[in-house]
Structures are given as C-alpha cells and as structure tokens.
Structure 1
C-alpha cells in the first residue's frame, strides 16, 4: 500500500464494511511482501518474530496497523508504506500481557521516522500506564535521514519514556539486526539487551565513518557485533545462538519478574525438603584445603536455591562475578556471587558495575538478593586505578547501601578488605549474614598480613638460614585462626551465624521466611547521586 491517492469514501454500511475488508487485504498483501523480502535475506519478518515470542495460540493485538509514513519528506518520492517500518501491540507471555514492538527492515531499512516513532511512544505510554513489561525487537538502520530533525525528536521522546519507565516496568531489547547511531541508546536504557550471534550489531559510529575520520580499519562484527557486546563491553546481557534462542531467553527472564514494581511476583509450586539432601552434603567438601585453589561457585548456587531454578545473566561479561535469577520455595530472587574460577573471584571495574546494576534492578522490582561471598579483594593494577576503580567500584557499595529488599549473605571462604564490605556485608545493611566454618574475614589474607606484621621476624629467619617458608605458613595459620576466624566475627556480631555448608539451602529458606514482611525505606529525597 504505497503511493495512494484519496478515494471517495463509501456512503452505505455495506460499502464501508467491504472497503474495510479491502484495506485489511491490502495490509495482508503488504505483510506478505515484507515477509518475502526478509526471507530472501534469511531473516524473519517483524510479525513472525512477534509470533515466535508470544504464547502459542494466544494471538497478538496489533495497534496502529493503519498508520502510514507521512510521505512528505525530502527524497522519499511520496512513498507512504503501511505501518511505517514498525509493528506494535499487545501479546501474552506466560499468560500475562506485554507490550511488543518489532521493527520492519523491509520498509525503509527499518529506519525511524515520525510516524514509526510516534507508534513506539504510544506503546511505551500504554505499557507505563497499564503496568506491563515492554519488549522491543530492533532491526533498524537508525533515524530516517529524509525526515531530518523530526526523526531525531522521536528518538528523544523514546529515550525519555525509557527513563521514566525504568524501575517501574521491566524493559527488554532484542537486537535482531543493526542498531546504529541514535538507535543504540534506547536499548542501553532498557533493563536487558539480548543480541543474536553473527546477526546483531550495535554501534554509535559505523566502520566507514571511523575509517574516514580516524583511518582505523575495523569490521562491523569486531566493532559492534553480538560477541563484542556480550564479552567486552557488557552492553548485551545474553548472546543468543539464533533468534528463537533470544526469544526463549527473554521469556525465561520474564518468568521471574513481576509485571511492574507494585505487582506481586510470579510464584511457582515448589516442594522443598528442610532435611539436608545428598546434593546439599556435597557442599561440605567443595572448598579445597588450599586457599589458593579455585572451585566453581555455580555448584554452590545450584545447591543453595530450588533445583534447576538458576538463570544466569551476562555470563560472558566479567565472569569473575556471577549474577542471575533463581527461586527459593518457588519465590523469585536475585543471586550475586564471586566466582573463584575466574581471576580468583576478585572485584574489578567490570564486575563492580555488572553487579551494581543487577542489585539496583532487583531492588527496584522487589526481588530479595542472595549474595555468596568468596572475594580476596579488588584487582590490583595501574589500569584499574587509572580507569577509575575508586569511583566505579563505589557503584556496588552504593547499590547495596540503598537496597531495601531482603538481603541475605553467605560467606563461603575469603572475605578480605574493602571487597568484603562491598559484597553485601552487614555494615551496608544486609539483613542476615552467615558464614561457613571455612570463611576468613579480615583486612587481608594471612600471607599478606604476615609480610607486614612479621617483617622483622622473617628477616631474622632469613639471616639465620632458617626455613622461611615454614615460618610464613605457621604465622599465616596463626593469623587466620586468631584474626580471620568466622567464630570471632560471630562473637562480635559482625555476622549472625556460622552454619554447616550443607545447611545453606535450608538457612536461606528460613531467612527468606523471616524477612517476608520486611519493611524499609530510604530518607526522603528526590534521588541520590550515584558515582556514575
């Protein structure tokens, strides 16, 4: 339906019904053409993507299907395609309403013009008023050049509504093609970005412009491909193998989330045992005897929450910290944990920002946070210091300190220095803090402390030709037992309890019950000033 000329309006009821049928047929024909164009490129159509995302057999209520491009812009030859490069409306996922828009690359390369932008804004306004999640499926070359500042203005309205919706309704972006220029900032403002391997690209400035301005040669995938943003930049929260995988992941995340910040959480039937299981008992031997030997924190998480309920977020970015959703007695929770297998579980800039954003998301939507701690400290190095680890690491401090949801922390092994404080400590407001007998809570580890506290004794032993390694080991052991013991921390009230590792799941269940009616609030303010 392009290049239409005004036609006389029918005057009888029958004629109007017939005219409506013709218009619907023309829309269907236009959709069939769009499908063929995308199919020729090995891609799904905008509507096909929506139907893959929503519950099977529930349909999709399209809104603004008769909206057309304004058709009065420079260089567009008066073309006025139906739907103007975006399909939007309301569907159901897990039996709950969601707002969905899907950009149509077959129309003006999916570019955003005034009409398309107005449609997305209308959907955002609906989702915010109705209190339902919103999902954007992006496949666009950016702003429509022919429409100039009008198109840019619509981006501004979209960004504003992204911001107003933040913390009120869950927002998702699924990148199924290019997202260039201004198109990248709306996904950046949403809660979760999912990219498809070898298909998605996101960049502010494309390879051609970069080469023209800087002389740098870089390919599209290297610059802004799905792997780049999932591994290096952290823009993407999940690297999907294909579009169905992307849609499945979004559906999986939605299963843990409320419709909005005031809605109840989805609850799932769960039969849990308050008697330690064989899997629980495996935790009693998971910590190696050597403090420097790693173990997989994912194994601890799996045995601390409902069986097979953990869904990881951003698994490829900053793998030294784990974040994700799980369930405890069928109730959704957020999980944050150091990963000793990666960089010894140290905190660095990327890990701090990754965890801070997740803490704030969980707090915004009322999800209790379970923190599993094995952290030897912040990663040392000039690159970290010069890139701003002080300011950027403070984001995690800020996030935990302002959280008012139930906070449950379990220390499995190391909890050293400032990193111990940052990881959901009692001092930041955590409600229930527990430690395993293997935990070590101190300003630093035994070896580091010995080098400072017993420098003279070690020097004297070296001068006498004594076994310095044995002396170091003895002094480090004494330090750990006398200063870093979890029982000393419990004696002083720094932690609430010391538990057997095999009791972790049960202790978390009981802690969740105890905090089920928690009420907390922050001092009245317009907003805080997080160290961005």
Structure 2
C-alpha cells in the first residue's frame, strides 16, 4: 500500500476515533463520565474488540458535508470473560448522540449479527433522541431499532446501560430490552422533559424527579440495577453476563465439575422464628442457600416485598424468587406481581432453572390495589409460572395462603417438586380469618372469647393447614428439615438439568398485560 493511502487511512481513523474532539471528551471526564470508546474498552477483554462501521456517515442534506465521527455510535464485537458479546456505545460528543438513519443502520446491522452468531447485546445509551435534521428518516431509524429489540427478545440477552440523558425515543429501546443498568449521576431517562411537562400541564418538575436513576429504580420499576458510575455499571454487566447463556438454545454457564456436597446445614434452623407471627428476613435463608451467599438481586429497590435475582446452588445457575416478609408482610401486590412475572419469563426464555421460596399471606388487600388491577397483575404470576418449562422447584418456608399460594408456583402450576418446612401452613386463609368463618357458634358461646380464639386457631392449623395434610393429598413432594434445604434443592436441580417439556403448538400465549 502506498504512503498516500496509508496516510489517508490513518487520517480517517483518527478523525473517527476522536469523536467530538479532545476538548469535548475532557469535559466529560471532568464530570466523571467515560467516553463511548472507553466504556467499550472497560467491557471487553483487551485487544478483542473489532469495530464495524467506523467510516459510516450520514446522507442528510440538512447536515451538508459535515462529517459526524462514526455517525455518533461505536459498534462492534469482542470477548467478555471468554464469551462473545455484541455491543454499541452512543457518543454524546457527536451531535449529542442523536440517532439518524446511518446511526440506526449501524445498530441494526450489529444486532442482526448478534442474532446470527447467537450472542448477547450490550448497549451503552446516551442520546438526545431523534436527530431533528433528519426528520422522518430518524423516526424510521428508531422504528427499525425497536423492531430489532423485539426480534431479539427471548433469543439473545439484551442489556442496556443508561449512562447519560436518554430522551424521547431513546428511552424506548432500553425499555424493550431485558435489563437496564443506570448510573446514579448524570443519567436521566424520560419521554417528555421538564420543559414540555411545564408547557403542557403547567406543573414544574426536574429531570431527576421524572427521569432520575433512583426514581426509576424504586418508583417506576424501569431500572433493574443502580450503578454508582460508569465503571460500576460495567462491573454489573459483567457479573450479569456470568449467569446468562449466550442465547436461548444453550444452557446457562453451570459449573458441574465438582461432586455435589449434600451436608446438612443446622444453622438454617436458626433463621426460623419460634413465633409464626414474627416476620422472618428471607435474605438470611437465601444467604445460607446459595453458593458463597451471593445473590445478584434484580430490581432491589422496587417492590421490596418480593426478591428476585440470580445465584448458584452447588455450581448450578438459578433464578431465585422469594417473598420478603419484612416488607408488606411478603404479600403480593401489583408491583411485586409485575416484577416476579417478568423475571420468571426471562428465566424461562433462557433455560435458567427457577427456585421459589414461599412465605406469603396473600395478595395485598386495599381499594387502591383492586382499582389498580391486582386481578390482572396477579394473573401475570400465574401465567408466567404455568407457562414455564424450565426446571422449577418450590420451598414453602412458612405461610402459603389462598391464591398467592398458587401464584408462588404450587404443584398445580407445573413445578417439578414442592418442599415444605415442618412449620409451614398451606391453607385458603390464615387461622384468624378461618376461625371467624368455621367456628362462629363456638366463639359466640365462649365466655373467654380471646382464649378460645387462640385455641381454635391452633386447632385449625392442626386440622387444616399443616404441610402433612397437603403431603397426604400429593400436593407437597416432601416435608423437609430446614437443614436439608440446600442439599435437597442441589440434588433435585442436578437431576433436572436434562428436563424437556413440550407444550401445545401455538404462536404464543396471551398474557394479561
């Protein structure tokens, strides 16, 4: 190659790699933000990133001959801990990271490659939305990106990292992906900003109030993981990928090299309060159940009455779902139902076995819940579990009442095994409510009603809600000592990894959205 050609290639590469220029990039660093390329460098193993579309440029007449470096988005593939990953990072120093036709085309081509190669997609998103100068071409570009998000759904894992402003259409692509990681500082995500809201409604607000990371993590439920900064976001992505298969035809990365350890854990008995009315922190159970006590919790700040996340049990990757009695007594409400159903469906799409820990008094009562559609939202849990074909194991720790017993993956919902601790209660309702219905006459005739009520509650428990009654009717696989829980699950999970279950032929079910 001639020196002239070499110099031309070098000049073009340097221009594309410079993004919006050193000055713009330095301003970002002063705010604690990485550049688009630095984010990809942090994600991938050194030397494995291969960029695609470096020289792509817009064909918008309104922008004239202005060359936008890489058209504002860096795309390519590389290795993360030995696994191939497709990723793109929007460059906010180039036209504010806005999306135009060429920008969208690069993302579409990358995601098509991800589908063909069967690899996860990671998207670092920081964009001012549609590029105004490109008009309907920009809108068409967003439509193509959204279509790809839906096409990839359930085929390869999709992870969005919101590390700067994402306004308008820029917020919808992350919403169509499987997980959203968002940085606490500098990142916002909204459809209409504060100025538009004030102009239309007259109400003053701030970008943080309507689109900040903490709001989305705790109120809207849009964000699955909160990161302190860009580096922390990359750490979360890498850990999340360590639990996921590259695509829906492969198993998650189970580590089956070692023989199972089936020892009893006597300290598991210590986490169960003697008084069944006392709340039990289910995190103490989880810590003793999973390898190294490590749970990668998903949506930790949202619907805290239900815990969901990824862990390993004797090397096997599991999706864990657990009622948390320390918040709303562990009852299922609208938000918890949405949270649980979506997580269960993700695990089912990507062959991740499910372990469900049950301590649920029912669906949360209240006017707001009923008017908000708790019937429809609660039905999502039933639908998600019943449609799941992955290995499913349920452990009833204490309470399992009414419809929530079914919604937490009872035998009727297709679970492979249901285990119960000896003190568990499985019934249509709790003892106090049942006594009022079943023993009205005895209560009416009693001189000491409170003493009699306590006696009747205990009688109801013995006669109607012990796990042995359910086990006698085949609804419970076995009643186990809490100390046996980890060993029992580990053995059952290992045996179930070859599970295959066929369902009636159909396009898809109609989940109650």
TM-score with structure 2 setting the length: 0.97
CA distance in 1, matches of 2:17, 2:427: 68
Which residue in 2 is equivalent to 1:512? 493
Which residue in 2 is equivalent to 1:437? 422
Q: Deviations over 1:333-355 (max 9, x none)?
A: 11001011111100001001100
| RMSD across aligned positions (CA) | 1.5
Matches of residues 362-511 of structure 1 in structure 2 within 5 Å?
362-461=347-446, 466-511=447-492
Q: Displacement of 1:328 after TM fit?
A: 2.0
Which residue in 2 is equivalent to 1:66? 55
Select 2:73's aligned residue among 69, 86, 90: 86
Q: Deviations over 1:64-110 (max 9, x none)?
A: 1111232412xx35422120111111121111110110011111111
CA distance in 1, matches of 2:359, 2:178: 27
Select 2:119's aligned residue among 132, 138, 152: 132
Structure 2 residue matching 1:228: 3-state secondary structure: helix
Distance 1:529 1:79, change over 3 A: same
Q: Deviations over 1:484-511 (max 9, x none)?
A: 0101111110111000000000000111
Distance 1:210 1:72, change over 3 A: same
Which residue in 1 is equivalent to 2:297? 312
* Mapped contact 1:413–1:436 kept (Cα < 8 A): yes
Q: Deviations over 1:269-323 (max 9, x none)?
A: 55652121xxx21221322122221111111112222223421111110010010
Select 2:129's aligned residue among 134, 142, 155: 142
Distance 1:273 1:105, change over 3 A: same
Indicate yes or no: 2:21 matched with 1:36: no
CA distance in 2, matches of 1:250, 1:87: 18
Which residue in 2 is equivalent to 1:261? 248
Matches of residues 38-437 of structure 1 in structure 2 within 5 Å?
38-55=28-45, 57-73=46-62, 76=63, 78-268=65-255, 272-276=260-264, 280-437=265-422
Per mean C-alpha deviation after superposition, the further-off stretch among 243-252 and 26-35 is: 26-35
* Mapped contact 1:53–1:251 kept (Cα < 8 A): yes
Distance 1:177 1:28, change over 3 A: closer
Q: Displacement of 1:249 after TM fit?
A: 0.8
Structure 1 residue matching 2:356: 3-state secondary structure: strand
Unaligned runs of 5+ residues in structure 1 are 1-11
Unaligned runs of 5+ residues in structure 2 are none
Per mean C-alpha deviation after superposition, the further-off stretch among 498-507 and 212-221 is: 212-221
* Mapped contact 2:33–2:230 kept (Cα < 8 A): no
Q: Displacement of 1:184 after TM fit?
A: 0.8
* Mapped contact 1:109–1:140 kept (Cα < 8 A): yes
Aligned residues: 511
Indicate yes or no: 2:9 matched with 1:20: yes
Per mean C-alpha deviation after superposition, the further-off stretch among 508-517 and 374-383 is: 508-517
TM-score with structure 1 setting the length: 0.93
Structure 1 residue matching 2:357: 3-state secondary structure: strand
* Mapped contact 2:19–2:94 kept (Cα < 8 A): no
Q: Displacement of 1:363 after TM fit?
A: 0.5
CA distance in 1, matches of 2:397, 2:323: 10
CA distance in 2, matches of 1:265, 1:428: 23
* Mapped contact 1:71–1:79 kept (Cα < 8 A): no
